[in-house]
Amino acid sequence: MTFAANPSEFFGSLGLLSIVILFVLSIFSVISWGIIVNRFRRFGRIRQEESQFLQLYEQNPIDQQTLRSQAQTFAYSPSSAVYLGITDRLPESSDLFTSRPPMEAKPAERSPNRQYLEKVSQYIIQNQISQQEAYLPFLATTGNLTPFIGLLGTVLGIINAFHEIGVQGSASIAAVAPGVSEALVATAAGLFAAIPAVMAYNYFLSRIRKMSFRVEAFTIEFLNTVEESEKAFEVEVTR
């Protein structure tokens, strides 16, 4: 193999195993960048709809029927999903959502207990986290695996360099350079695939943590609102 300044000539001079390694690294890199772009778009949509829903929730704490109909349009908002999940389990006679007099409510129509609603909300939050973590394991795998694949190419390049030294009987630049350059290309390709994947993986995990904290805070506040509403409902019924 001879060293060539022209990239096309250089890659044409690579060995079969080196070409296979670079091809595999290219696949990892392309898929990783596709996931990164997809997740960036999804997290941007989540941030936008989450902000819109929380703004509506703060502006409309009483008109829950209107808020519920609006919440159904925010498919990417985790807090909206929690809100809808909890309200789906509240009876139609709940004082939080109905203008019907409390005395018309039947005992069997009372809201589920707080513990049940907390479990429901935790399930919904975990489901939202799972959706946001989709494809992220591939980024972690890319960050962990591709440097070793590049290292394999490096080892093969060094082996090829020593083979050329043995064939030519001298350690000249002409004998060593091709194998060393092949080794460095494999190392660089492995790092090129791994570094963006690791950075994106850590960034997305931090976004998911912040999202989960925000949704849990909303859940606590909303469950307290439901509980206070039900207590007020029971007081009015007992009068």
Domain ranges of the chain: 7-238
Burial of 32: CB neighbours in 10 Å, binned 0-12, 13-18, 19+: buried
Phi-psi region of 135 (alpha: psi -120 to 50; beta: other; left: phi over 0): left
Ranges assigned E (strand) in the chain: none
Q: What radius of gyration, in Å, describes the C-alpha atoms of the chain?
A: 29
Instruction: Tell me the H-state helices in 88-172.
Output: 114-132, 136-168
How confident is the model at residue 171, as a pLDDT? 59
Give the Cα separation of 107 and 226 in Å (integer). 17
How confident is the model at residue 1, as a pLDDT? 44
How confident is the model at residue 175, as a pLDDT? 58
How confident is the model at residue 21, as a pLDDT? 87
How confident is the model at residue 6, as a pLDDT? 60
**What DSSP designation does 171 have?**
-
- Could you write out the DSSP letters of every residue in 34-103? HHHHHHHHHHHHHHHHHHHHHHHHHH-SS-HHHHHHHHTT-TT-HHHHHHHHHHTTS-TT-TTT--S-GG
How confident is the model at residue 40, as a pLDDT? 94
Give the Cα separation of 2 and 14 in Å (integer). 9
Give the Cα separation of 229 and 37 in Å (integer). 43
For the chain, which residues score pLDDT lower than 50? 1-3, 99-105, 107-108, 237
- Residue listed under structure tokens 């709940």: 94
Query: Helix and strand tally (H, E) in the chain?
Result: 7, 0
**What DSSP designation does 170 have?**
S
